[in-house]
Structure 1
Amino acid sequence: PEVIRSAAEDRRIHLLPAYAHEVASAFNQFYAAVPVLTSGESRDARITLVDCTRIVLRNVLNTMGLAAPEEM
């Protein structure tokens, strides 16, 4: 994403953990407010959003040299 490129080009590594925190906070608010696993028309979309968030956070952590936990 743009944040990783900007952090590398401008040597502003602090952008990476700030971005990870921002994504995790937004996801936490979503997860607390939306019943992800309940049935309904948008269930598959909610599960896809969860998976995409996992991938983004894993990629940012890997870029910082950290391993993402398999489960939380």
Structure 2
Amino acid sequence: MKKYNVLIDTQEGQLFLFPIKAESYKHANALVMRESSRHDFLDGLEISTIGVFEEGNSVNLLENTTF
């Protein structure tokens, strides 16, 4: 498991950074999106992921992916 930081944006332009341990950056993103529904301060807000960063690295893994 690696440590990741997932940066999300709300429809109101608020940014939140969630540190999480996961098997991959995709897994980290999925966990944060699922868990965000359990936070009262995000209840009813539309959210989107801006970036996923491995701890200690500034590379946004969502932008650094080839398909």
TM-score bracket, normalised by the shorter chain, equals 0.3 to 0.5
TM-score (norm 1): 0.32
Higher relative contact order (CA 8 A, sep 6+): 2
> Which is strand-richer, 1 or 2?
2
TM-score (norm 2): 0.34
Larger radius of gyration: 1
